[in-house]
Amino acid sequence: MDINKYKESIQIAEEISKEICTGKDSTSRLVKEWKKNSAGLYKELQQQQRLAEEMKFRDSIELEGPLRNIHQRISPSRKLFIRTSGIAASLILAVVLTSLWLWQKEEREAVRWASTVPGKEPSSIITCDNRTVTLKESRLSVVDNQLISSTSDGKKDITITVEQDLQLNRLVVPTGAEQVLTLEDGSIVQINAASELLFPTHFTKQARQIQLAGEAYLKVKADKDNPFIVHLGTLDVQVTGTAFNVKAYEEENEISIALVEGIISVYKEKQLLAELLPGQLFTFRKDEQEYTVTDTDLSTVTDWTEDQFIFYNETIENIMHKISRWYNVNISVDEKIKNVRYTGILSRKQPLVKILDALRMTDELEFDIQADKKIDVERKN
């Protein structure tokens, strides 16, 4: 702890001791923050002070005994109370300082994880024959019935041979991770955090089919005789060769599909719903079973593929959902501010603490970063 932090701890400890002994609430912001984070300890300290007051009261009753004993009783009793009060104050100070040290230790731990570089969590592959392999690298390719994990410069890390080429393998990309998969036909799937993709090591001649839960950006190899189909639960996206973004998280009400180039068709139970042109966004609402097709700014949809967060008039709740997935953290947003909207651009490569610092500059938000990877978002007082 540096000297400034130590002085700050002493100041808080003195204010807490004074507040408990006098019963007058401190106006210090630091004391209020400490009380919020140490409510249990503060209650215990109050109980200790009440005990000291009770001892004082009992001693005062003893002093009302026979007059002949007053001189013998009054001095020891006064000394006893002085000592008791001194012990209580010292104990309060010591306990408060200890709690402050633990609190600051938790703060250091919170700052440590919030300062780490994101996107480093490992993905895993569950093969069709039920083998689970952790992937240290962020690139995976399907080559001759083999799954090859490699570095960004092409250096092989792991090679997995899969015998059942038509069965599906499961690629699991957790929160705080990202993965790029090159399929057998050369199509590339960039998969965002908290997503799962089912795919074979070999496509049939009738169709190239994969299944997605989460978000992915796809660059599909052109083949007009062999359509490419992405299954999204109740919806199917069919293309022959194109680039598009799909967002279909199971816990979210909306499924969105944005077309960058080419043409795609969206089906529901084999019934055609829409054909998209470049720059259009298809949005399907699960609760209403309805959809819309609108023109959109593609940068706000594909921002994550360029290591950016781009927000345009977006609610703080939605912004925090994206941040939560990428930084592998649980974020709780106060109900009063969930619909507050923001516009801006932030880099996904920087530590979380930098993102929060940038959002603090709006002078509207406050973030309580906790040691167990939890963040509470509140309106700044």
Ordered DSSP codes for 5-35: HHHHHHHHHHHHHHHHHH-PPP--HHHHHHH
Least confident of 96-105, 135-144, 151-160, 361-370: 96-105
Q: Please report which helix (H) or strand (E) contains residue 368, including its range.
A: strand 365-370
Question: How confident is the model at residue 36, as a pLDDT?
Answer: 75
Same domain, 199 and 263: yes
Same domain, 233 and 361: no
Q: For residue range 284-342, what is the model confidence (pLDDT) as tens digits?
A: 999 999 999 999 999 999 999 999 999 999 999 999 999 999 999 999 999 999 999 99
Q: How confident is the model at residue 9 (pLDDT cuts 50, 70, 90)?
A: low
- Nearest Cα residue to 296 out of 264, 341, 260: 260
| CATH code where residue 329 lies | 3.55.50.30
- Nearest Cα residue to 277 out of 327, 316, 239: 239
Same domain, 316 and 348: yes
Same domain, 290 and 312: no
Question: How confident is the model at residue 41, as a pLDDT?
Answer: 64
Same domain, 188 and 244: yes
Question: How confident is the model at residue 346, as a pLDDT?
Answer: 92
Asked if 84 contacts 52 with a C-beta cutoff of 8 angstroms, the reply is yes
Q: For residue range 235-289, what is the model confidence (pLDDT) as tens digits?
A: 999 998 899 999 999 999 999 999 999 999 999 999 999 999 999 999 999 999 9
Q: How many residues can be counted in the chain?
A: 381
Same domain, 21 and 144: no
Helices (H), the chain: 3-22, 29-37, 39-62, 70-114, 316-327, 352-360
Q: For residue range 205-237, what is the model confidence (pLDDT) as tens digits?
A: 888 999 999 999 999 999 988 999 999 999 999
Of 80, 95, 114, the one marking the end of a domain is 114
Q: Which residue has the higher pLDDT, 5 or 158?
A: 158
- Nearest Cα residue to 274 out of 261, 260, 264: 264
| Cα 157 from chain centroid (whole Å) | 29
Residue 227 tokens read as: 């359509």
Question: Distance between CA atoms of 89 and 86, rounded to whole angstroms?
Answer: 5
pLDDT above 70 covers a percentage of the chain that reads 73
Q: Which residue range forms the structural domain that includes residue 328?
A: 307-379
Same domain, 278 and 147: yes
Same domain, 141 and 268: yes
pTM, rounded to two decimals:
0.71
Least confident of 53-67, 114-128, 160-174, 295-309: 53-67
Q: How confident is the model at residue 109 (pLDDT cuts 50, 70, 90)?
A: low
C-alpha distances in Å from residue 372, one per residue of 32, 289, 328, 368, 375: 22, 38, 11, 12, 9
Cβ neighbors of 283 (< 8 A, separation 6 or more) are 254, 255, 256, 291, 292, 293, 294
Same domain, 144 and 269: yes
Same domain, 321 and 176: no
Q: Which residue has the higher pLDDT, 42 or 259?
A: 259
C-alpha distances in Å from residue 213, one per residue of 54, 172, 200, 306, 335: 64, 10, 16, 21, 28
| CATH code where residue 150 lies | 2.60.120.1440
Q: How confident is the model at residue 91 (pLDDT cuts 50, 70, 90)?
A: very low
Of 49, 81, 114, the one marking the end of a domain is 114
Q: For residue range 145-195, what is the model confidence (pLDDT) as tens digits?
A: 889 998 777 777 788 888 766 689 999 999 999 999 999 999 999 999 999
Question: Distance between CA atoms of 123 and 219, rounded to whole angstroms?
Answer: 21
Question: How confident is the model at residue 358, as a pLDDT?
Answer: 87
Same domain, 133 and 238: yes
Same domain, 208 and 242: yes
Mean pLDDT of 125-140: 91
Provide the domain count of the chain: 3
Of 64, 80, 114, the one marking the end of a domain is 114
